[in-house]
Structure 1
Amino acid sequence: MRICRQHHVAACLMKSASVRYRIVPSKLAAHRLEVRCTVDNPDEAGQRFALPAWIPGSYLIRDFARHIVSIRAECAGKHVPLVKIDKHTWQAPPLASGAALSVVSEVYAADLSVRGAHVDPTHAFFNGTSVFLRVVGREGSACLVDLRRPVGKEYENWRVATTLPPADGESGAARQNGFGLYRAADYEELIDHPVEMGTFTLAGFPTCGVVHEVAITGRHDCDVERLTADLRRLCEWQIRFFGEPAPMSRYLFLVTAVGDAYGGLEHRASSALICARDDLPYLGMRGLPERYRGFLGLCSHEYFHTWNVKRIRPQAFASYNLDVENYTSLLWAFEGFTSYYDELALLRCGLIPAKEWLSGLARTIDRVHREPGRQRQTLAEASFDAWTKFYRPDENTPNTSVSYYAKGALVALALDLTLRAGTAGRVSLDDVMRALWLRHGAPEDMRGVGDDDIRLIAEELSGLDLEAFFADAVHGTSDIDLARLLRPFGIRLKRSPSSRAPSLGIRTASEGNELRLTTVYDGGAAQSAGLSANDLLVAVNGLRVTPASLERLLGRHRAGDEFTVHVFRRDELMDFTVRLAAPPRDCHRLMIATKSNPLRRGWLYGTDCPSPD
């Protein structure tokens, strides 16, 4: 009797929504998902259905529709022809009034990343952009989703992890490990809650009124108690940084552990993460090893996005157009500022000491200053060109582009230091972020953040004229004088060569016991001699070169020395005379020069954090 009532409630719920979906992993060994989309009263002119071309948070046209293996439509049990009108859009013919139209697609899901969908006999993971057809013209309609378990006894222990809200009337017992009905207020919400199905490890912790969960898929030996304790400290600091209450009542870290990978993608109440299983903490682990620190930094980055990009949005993202690129020149703020705060949060919540954070910051400075492209492309241009350049790097990218993540983090640092020094510690970037939240995030401002809004807010709060700062840092290509900005904080910035050996001005990759030039830097010794990216390095002065011997060979020479280099270019053996250059001073160190400094204490630890400074 109880089961019948549950089925009756489910049936009523499905009928109450005008757009309904059902998804089931259908052929797991073949990486297939079957997805049904049903719409009541379809467009009288012929209903259109489209799959997104990209996923918010990853700014590249990915053409998810290319993974649709088959697609068909039906109405009242009869076949309905579909016409494909572009690469990701299908149109049905006009139907009788009151009809319900269903489109059934089979999706190939073999993308083991945070951006797509992956199905095999061990689990199923998908983002909505990869599987849920958009009912054109009904994007604002409420949606119901029926998540189905794969057929077979071997899948009886599978369960669901997602932050999609459960449909009304669906009790925990009825949901059978999470399978059943879920709801979304509209299509944008529907695609902003990734789903994991399988036999994952699940742990949870509450903080600041928010239920947090971690679901780990894949073989691992994670000390879950240690992980959740560290994440609790991190999440609590971020929630209190922006101010309670948090914008979500529940948050989920979806972690896929594999042999070697690293990446994350933010969502409104969850994040999809992929990592090497060695990145996770293990029982008996002491301290915070570099790999685990990197994973916590990834979690921190995606969690900070809950505020900065998911709710505080640039104007171009106020309403996503999922068919084409959505250009903005502000990614330096939304990704760069988040990159600045991701590890600063680890410091301020007490997970890492100040010296370790300063070492990480120095490595970011190294990364930016080793790329000649920083002197050619502005941060605003890098943001705008993300769709065509950042996600499609080639051998010449370091010469032509700058990372809006890394240099954006340095601009955040520079702005923070400028505000604190210029106001004697009264105003900081923390205040700017909170003002952005109160004006553009918490009120769900649909206008989004304009190109000049960050500068205007910073000027309003501080009383400083920052027009020249933004012109140089964001719209210019000159290096930021970090040494000058750090001096009032009792921090000394020291530059030195990363190697004593003279420089060829190249980046290499090992191919077995051979070396290939992957990048030849503009203005370097190799480029001046005529060497090119993709050349296979064979010998120097008649001696064979291996990945282990190149540095030793260079170390026996001085800047200005000439030697002969033999390379294979395609299948042709060529020789070049190279004049070695002095090693670049591209290694940075940040050293605490004074024992006590109030400005530094406020910067490193924040106003609410105790410090050992």
Structure 2
Amino acid sequence: MTTIAYRISASNPNAHQFTVTIDIPSHEHSQLTLSLPSWLPGSYMIRDFAKNIITFNASMAQQPIEFCKTDKQTWVLTTNGAAVRVEYDIYAFDLSVRTAFLDNQRGFFNGSSTFLEVQELAEHPCSLQIIKPEGLNNWKVATGLPRANGTEIYQFGDYIADNYQHLIDCPVELGDFDVIEFDVANVPHYLVFAGRHFGDRERLKNDIAKLCQHHIDLFGEAPFSEYWFITNLLGNGFGGLEHKNSTVLVASRFDLPNPNKPEELSDNYKTFLSLCSHEYFHAWNVCRIKPEEFVPYDLSKEVHTNQLWAYEGITSYFDDFSLFRAGIIPFKDYLTILSKTMTRVYRGQGELKQSVSDSSFDTWTKFYKQGPDAVNNIVSYYTKGSLIALWLDLTIREHSKGKFSLDNLMKTLWLEHGKTGIGTNEKHFINIANQLCDSDISEQFTQLLHRANRVPLEQLLAQVGVTFERAPYKKLNSFDGENKSSYKPYLGAFYKQTPAGLKVTVVEQSSPAEQAGLSVDDVIIAVDNLKVSDKSLQSLLDHTPENQQLDCHVFRDDKLLKLPLTVIDTPKLAVQLTVENEQLVKNWQRII
């Protein structure tokens, strides 16, 4: 089978342009159809990557040939079976994990936003030559693509892929990055950090290695021969995208552990470790175990599935729980994280309006294109999915008298679907759960997925020694709860500090903020005729009697408004989890 030869060069870093060349050998087709995906796996929104193609040219035997563009992302060439060369320029100036970026400091590209597919030859092997930019002798290459023709690790040169899908599943980082290497289960792992950082390299290596070992032990094997954590460090940022043997992350440079404080376990560092855990778990759960609607992927249009609650929700359950199981955080810290997750789900009305199955199906619009009403009208399949995963774990442990757990469900999915390539449907999860429980939980399970109801966890948590309580918010603009009898003012709006004032990001349904007429994107500048900041608003309302009406001055666009704000005592919207029985807790913590 002939090879499709791709070549990419950082042709103009200052203009943020890559040049891509594709050499297509002679073939049996009179026409060839070249297209770029509209979206990429793991990010469920139409991205229209083709909008970044600046120029497009095709030639045979060094002579230009005509082509026809048939839609926003597709070009048709009449070749009559002859070899053809295609060359195009890509504009790359997106710092996210999804597309491509290039300047004179670093380069990055996801193949799905960069490499055109030759549809008629999509299963042919591909080669990729990555050209070293002139004058940037300190730049290196980081990618999970297999190296070829003597190209050494981190070198510019030749790489290969089994087919087009393999080619676009291996993102590439270019630049003078920092690398930390370690082995887990005899598999080489690489922590790549693009951008200046001050992190404790030894601690990063040890902590992430523990998480990787936990996930490999859970599934019983590593499905890759090497793994790459490619992290772009910014002043402020957060995100991740999974691939079969790598992940691309965005984080703040100060999220990493401080070498001057070896005992400190900051919330930001825990969040970064949870992100690493989440994306690594995806190497099994969604990259290989995947919904039947994704087998194979159709990247030209939206592909709907009701199962993202499992692929993101179960992964979200294990990402934090694994921090504890791997010995990185104490159990009380895990309960604090879980409490905040529960609060995020229970505080809004969206959970009572949209099922987690519908949330999965509607991800293309309602989740990835959230409006200001999101907290009140939709539910996240990540967070509520993680609570369903917790319910499943505790339910399986209870019914099997501690013999099985969600670990066993994931192992079964790996053997029956991940290793075989057979896509899942909802019944597969239900049937495996019934087998592990040795009883029929189909009705309960189905209702949790298809009805907009709360996940019943209080009794299940009590059976593993954890007390579930509802508590008032500890303070404004926070998810933390605190069970004290003293008055705590409640606004029902979340906001962020800006130079202009407090910019409203969330207004909760039926809250004092909603009743006052506050809206998302309003900028609060004064309350009770006093200029406010995040800190001063808390102090002001702490000293204001309950139910007193205050004038709230806000800018909505460029118009100044005065709204009547009546602050009440905080309702019990937060969740608090505490250990009641240490021995029962140990039974839950146990890996089965």
Normalized against structure 1, the TM-score is what? 0.90
Q: How many angstroms apart in 1 are the aligned matches of 2:415 and 2:70? A: 43
Q: How far has the Cα of 1:477 moved from its partner?
A: 1.6
Shift of 1:468: 2.9
Q: Equivalents in 2 of 1:134, 1:376: separation in Å?
A: 41
- Please list the CA deviations of residues 293-325 of structure 1 after superposition, one character each: whole Å capped at 9, or x if unmatched: 221111111100010000000111111111111
User: What is aligned with 1:584?
Assistant: 571
- Once the two structures are superposed, residues 259-310 of structure 1 have per-residue CA deviations (whole angstroms, 9 ceiling, x without a partner) of 1111111100111112111122343432332222221111111100010000
- Give, in whole Å, the separation in 1 of the partners of 2:446 and 2:50: 41
Q: Hey, what does 1:253 align to over in structure 2? A: 229
Any stretches of 5+ residues in structure 2 without a counterpart?
476-486
Contact 2:31 2:80 in 1 (8 A): no
Distance in 2 (CA, whole Å) between partners of 1:43 and 1:295 is: 50
- The aligned counterpart of 1:494 is 469
In 1, the alpha carbon distance for the partners of 2:441 and 2:126 equals 46
Could you say if the C-alpha distance between residues 177 and 346 of structure 1 is closer, same or farther in structure 2, counting changes exceeding 3 Å? closer
Q: Which deviations, in whole Å up to 9, do the C-alpha atoms of 1:12-35 show, x marking residues without a partner?
A: xxxx73311011111011111010
CA shift at 1:492, angstroms? Answer: 0.7
Q: Distance in 1 between matches of 2:191 and 2:80?
A: 47
Equivalent pair of 2:355/2:453 in contact (CA under 8 Å): no
Displacement, 1:568?
A: 4.0
1:171 aligns with 2:155: no
Q: Does the C-alpha gap of structure 1 residues 176 and 494 become closer, same or farther in structure 2, counting only changes over 3 Å?
A: closer
Cα pair distance change 1:54/1:548, threshold 3 Å: same
**Who is 2:83 aligned against?**
100
Contact 1:17 1:144 in 2 (8 A): no
2:131 to 140, 144, 148: 148
1:57 pairs, out of 32, 39, 42, with: 42
Structure 1 gaps, min length 5: 1-15, 608-613
CA distance in 2, matches of 1:553, 1:129: 51
1:426 aligned onto 2:403: yes
Residues 1:470 and 2:445 are matched in the alignment: yes
Amino acid at match of 1:487: A
Aligned to 1:157: 138
Moved over 6 A (4+): none
**Residue of 454, 458, 461 corresponding to 2:433:** 458
1:603 is displaced (CA, Å) by: 1.8
Q: Which residue of 1 aligns with 2:370?
A: 393
**Aligned 8 A contact 2:400 2:436 in 1:** no
Contact 2:348 2:509 in 1 (8 A): no
Q: Is this contact kept in 1: 2:142–2:154, CA < 8 A?
A: no
Query: Does the CA contact (< 8 Å) of 1:74 and 1:102 recur in 2?
Result: yes
Q: Across the two proteins, how many residue pairs are aligned to each other?
A: 579
CA offsets 1:458-505 (integer angstroms, 9 cap, x no match)? 012212222232233221222223221111111111221114433232
Distance 1:559 1:411, change over 3 A: farther
Per-residue CA distance 1:9-68 (angstroms, 9 max, x = gap): xxxxxxx73311011111011111010112223574421110111111111111111111
Letter in 1 for 2:111: G
Which of the numbers 182, 196, 216 marks the counterpart of 1:205?
182
Pairing 1:171-570 to 2, within 5 Å after superposition? 171-172=150-151, 175=152, 177-244=154-221, 246-287=222-263, 288-445=265-422, 448-498=423-473, 499=475, 500-570=487-557
Q: CA deviation at 1:331?
A: 0.8
1:177–1:556 CA distance, 2 compared to 1 (3 A): closer
Identity of aligned residues (%): 39
| Larger mean Cα displacement after TM superposition, 588-597 or 531-540 | 531-540
Query: What is the SS of the residue equivalent to 1:183?
Result: strand
Q: 1:546 to 1:231 in 2, by over 3 A?
A: closer
The 8 Å contact of residues 42 and 95 in structure 1, kept in 2 or not, is answered as: no
CA–CA distance in structure 2, aligned partners of residues 78 and 377 of structure 1: 57
The change in CA–CA distance for 1:43 and 1:229 in structure 2 (over 3 A counts) is: same
Further displaced range: 284-293 or 49-58: 284-293
Call closer, same or farther: CA 1:535–1:294 in 2, change over 3 Å.
closer
> SS at the partner of 2:450?
coil
Tell me the equivalent position of 2:5.
Answer: 20
Relative to structure 1, the CA distance from residue 284 to residue 509 in structure 2 (aligned partners, 3 Å threshold; closer, same or farther) is: closer
1:528: Cα distance to partner?
Answer: 2.9
Quick check: 1:162–1:195 contact (8 Å CA) kept in 2?
yes
1:536–1:43 Cα change, 3 Å: farther
Equivalent in the alignment of 1:13: none
Q: Does 1:40 align with 2:25?
A: yes
Deviation at 1:573, TM superposition (A): 4.2
RMSD: 2.0
Question: 1:593 offset after TM fit, Å?
Answer: 0.7
Secondary structure, counterpart of 2:360 in structure 1? helix
Q: Could you tell me which residue of structure 1 aligns to residue 482 of structure 2? A: none
| Secondary structure of 2:120 counterpart | coil
- Asked whether the 8 Å contact 1:501–1:557 carries over to 2, the reply is no
Aligned residue for 1:47, secondary structure, equals strand
Q: What secondary structure, in the 3-state scheme, does the structure 2 residue paired with 1:549 have?
A: helix
Contact 2:396 2:436 in 1 (8 A): no
SS of equivalent to 1:509: strand
CA distance, structure 1, for counterparts of residue 128 and residue 83 of structure 2: 16
